[in-house]
Amino acid sequence: MKFSPLVDELIQSLRALPGVGPKSAQRMAFQLLERERKVGLKLADSLQKAMSEVGHCQSCRTFTEQDLCPICSSHRRVNSGIICVVETPADVLAIEAGGHFNGRYFVLLGHLSPLDGVGPEELGLALLERHLTSDDVSELILATNPTVEGDATAHFIADMARRHNVVISRIAHGVPVGGELEYVDSTTLALSFNGRIPLL
């Protein structure tokens, strides 16, 4: 213990954030205590509410505290007939930042990884297949990461989707192999959408 239980506890709690080391945690704690107490209280409130109330969209599985996320609530987006399958909510943000995609999403919240116990059920593939069966879906764009696991997941979903009357494509040009979708710039992402290749 260096100062007092509450200060030490605050530094420890900040260190648990991704990418925050001991020096940064200390710096954050002191800056908040010295001159940004309102910022700290606001963050406490945001964290408390988000951790307690945010769940998943019942249609696309992205994060939201509502039944449907804003995109799945948009008739224009749903009526596009296009579903883009991504691994994470961060991928949705990356594609939305490009502003070139007008369909809706399906968020796997991961990729197939049998050794970690992640199979079709964990990725919500039954829900995705319900969309293909019941909704008016004309195209399924597979935008999982261009990694071994992401490719395997895309092929697994393509096999499932072939049982339905839907064009299946995989984003292609532009995304660097081995990279993560979340970190690709929006122009490259736009290219990869335009150059998507139908899976036969």
**Site stretch for a second copy (CB under 8 A), options 14-22, 116-124, 142-150, 154-162:** 14-22
Residue 60 sits in the site that holds Zn ion (CB under 5 A): yes
**Site stretch for a second copy (CB under 8 A), options 86-94, 131-139, 155-163, 173-181:** 86-94
Q: Which residues of 56-72 are buried (b: 16+ CB within 10 A; e: fewer)?
A: bbebbbbbbeeeebebb
Residue 5 contacts which entry, Zn ion, a second copy, none (Cβ below 5-8 A, type-dependent): a second copy
Residue 59 contacts which entry, Zn ion, a second copy, none (Cβ below 5-8 A, type-dependent): Zn ion
**Neighbour tally for 166: CB within 10 Å:** 17
Whole-angstrom distance, CA of residue 108 vs CA of residue 122: 8
CA distances from 44 to 51, 54, 71, 176, 177 (A): 11, 15, 28, 38, 39
Tokens representing residue 171 in the block? 């984003």
**Site stretch for a second copy (CB under 8 A), options 56-64, 144-152, 159-167, 172-180:** 56-64
Which residue in 58, 66, 138, 187 binds a second copy (CB under 8 A)?
66
CB of 27 to a second copy, least distance (A): 6
Residue 171 sits in the site that holds Zn ion (CB under 5 A): no
- Residues with Cβ within 8 Å of 154's Cβ and at least 6 positions away in sequence, in order, are 85, 142, 144, 170
Residue 33 sits in the site that holds a second copy (CB under 8 A): yes
Which residue in 96, 116, 159, 185 binds a second copy (CB under 8 A)?
96
CB of 142 to Zn ion, least distance (A): 18
Tokens representing residue 51 in the block? 């951790």
How crowded is the C-beta side of 56, counted as CA atoms within 13 Å? 15
